[in-house]
């Protein structure tokens, strides 16, 4: 949190030690609200009333007093406000309720504890930002996924289709008068599918269902490039651009906590697991831009943000 405070406030931090803040009592109850609109002194009064209404659901501001620092050079506010709640618990509620929430279309609230900011300013040591760890992609995916859409370069602009018989799957070009096999005869990678196969929405992957999960195939010869390990998998749903997928093992009831798995397709990692309470498939739906996932449960419909899979506040519709 310290790093984010310093990076957001920057030069504004010099105004946090003004005399107006000296009268505040409990440091743990003081909040700095950044990201608000920049206004003149006249509009600052209206802005104070607006902020009081925003804060009211989480507690009471001491003396209804909100300090909006002004820049003496421009006579405009600095886009931040400082105020004191009745206690530290209410301060925590304000931060949890307002941080990273929109004030309007152009401004987003960022809420911090004043004590944390003072601590950051007092610490002169430079802290290195964490380095994002890089993971090597799957070897098979690296080898074949580069040509995942090679079939779209077909000079005759033919589509592909697959045929299932016994435990075998064959893929053909739609050609006249007779279909032509799209795979080498030596390719046996699709011969062990126990149940069914399905294409992904953009045709990048051919998914085969097995007792221990789903295998993804891609490239000119549809070689294996990924797996969703989900024992007893019965159904699969991709998002529109194939970034995410949902699998279901057919189990119903709240006691089966891993009946539904949400996947990141590129990494084959599980983002979250859910029980399934609706026997109608699919009871999950991705948004068109792949930013959200809607789920249907016993209490109604919930909206989750991707890829964090955190429920969007106040988004449950019963």
Greater pLDDT, 207 or 148: 207
Residue 236 has pLDDT above 90, yes or no: yes
pLDDT at res. 23? 47
Domain 150-311 CATH superfamily:
YVTN repeat-like/Quinoprotein amine dehydrogenase (2.130.10.10)
pLDDT at res. 93? 94
The residue ranges of every structural domain in the chain are 25-122, 150-311
Do 200 and 238 form a contact (C-beta atoms < 8 A)? yes
Residue 13 has pLDDT above 50, yes or no: yes
Residue 60 has pLDDT above 60, yes or no: yes
pLDDT at res. 55? 95
pLDDT at res. 8? 45
CA-wise closest residue to 197 among 186, 187, 189, 209:
209
* 3 — pLDDT class (breaks 50, 70, 90): very low
Q: 174 is written with which tokens?
A: 């739609």
Listed in sequence order, the residues at least 6 apart from 23 whose beta carbon sits closer than 8 Å to its beta carbon are none
Q: 51 is written with which tokens?
A: 């902020």
pLDDT at res. 126? 67
CATH class of 25-122: alpha beta
- Mind listing the pLDDT tens digit for each residue in 170-223? 888 888 788 888 887 655 556 565 668 899 998 889 999 988 999 998 888 888
Strands 292-297 and 284-286: antiparallel
Report the chain's mean pLDDT, rounded to a whole number: 82
Do 25-122 and 150-311 show the same overall fold? no
User: 56: helix, coil or strand?
Assistant: helix
pTM: 0.53
* 287 — pLDDT class (breaks 50, 70, 90): very high
DSSP one-letter code for 254? T
* 81 — pLDDT class (breaks 50, 70, 90): very high
pLDDT at res. 24? 47
- Mind listing the pLDDT tens digit for each residue in 290-300? 999 998 876 77
Q: What is the average per-residue pLDDT within 237-253?
A: 95
- Mind listing the pLDDT tens digit for each residue in 85-111? 999 999 999 999 999 999 988 899 999
pLDDT at res. 142? 40
Listed in sequence order, the residues at least 6 apart from 313 whose beta carbon sits closer than 8 Å to its beta carbon are 101
Greater pLDDT, 241 or 25: 241
* 162 — pLDDT class (breaks 50, 70, 90): confident
Distance CA 6, CA 11 (A): 9
pLDDT at res. 192? 60
pLDDT at res. 317? 62
User: 188: helix, coil or strand?
Assistant: coil
Q: What is the average per-residue pLDDT within 5-31?
A: 57
């Amino acid at each position: 949190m310290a790093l984010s405070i310093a990076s957001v406030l920057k030069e504004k931090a010099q105004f946090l030690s003004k005399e107006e803040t000296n009268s505040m009592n409990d440091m743990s109850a003081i909040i700095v609200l950044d990201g608000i609109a920049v206004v003149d002194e006249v509009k600052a009064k209206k802005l104070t009333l607006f902020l009081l209404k925003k804060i009211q659901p989480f507690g009471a501001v001491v003396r209804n007093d909100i300090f909006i620092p002004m820049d003496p050079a421009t006579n405009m506010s600095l886009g931040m406000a400082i105020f004191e709640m009745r206690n530290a618990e209410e301060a925590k509620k304000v931060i949890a309720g307002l941080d990273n929430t929109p004030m309007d279309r152009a401004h987003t609230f960022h809420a911090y504890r004043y004590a944390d900011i003072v601590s950051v300013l007092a610490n002169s040591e430079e802290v290195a930002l964490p380095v994002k760890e890089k993971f090597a992609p799957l070897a098979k995916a690296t080898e074949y996924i580069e040509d995942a859409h090679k079939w779209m370069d077909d000079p005759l602009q033919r589509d592909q289709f697959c045929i299932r018989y016994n435990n075998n799957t064959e893929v053909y070009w739609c050609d006249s008068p007779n279909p032509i096999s799209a795979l080498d005869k030596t390719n046996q990678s699709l011969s062990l599918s126990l149940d069914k196969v399905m294409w992904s929405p953009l045709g990048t992957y051919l998914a085969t269902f097995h007792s221990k999960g789903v295998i993804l195939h891609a490239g000119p010869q549809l070689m294996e490039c990924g797996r969703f390990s989900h024992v007893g998998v019965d159904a699969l749903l991709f998002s529109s651009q194939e970034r995410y997928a949902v699998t279901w093992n057919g189990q119903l009831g709240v006691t089966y906590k891993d009946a539904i798995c949400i996947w990141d397709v590129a990494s084959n990692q599980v983002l979250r697991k859910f029980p399934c309470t609706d026997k109608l498939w699919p009871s999950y739906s991705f948004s068109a831009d792949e930013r959200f996932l809607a789920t249907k449960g016993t209490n109604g419909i919930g909206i989750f943000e991707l890829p964090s899979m955190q429920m969007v506040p106040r988004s449950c519709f019963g």
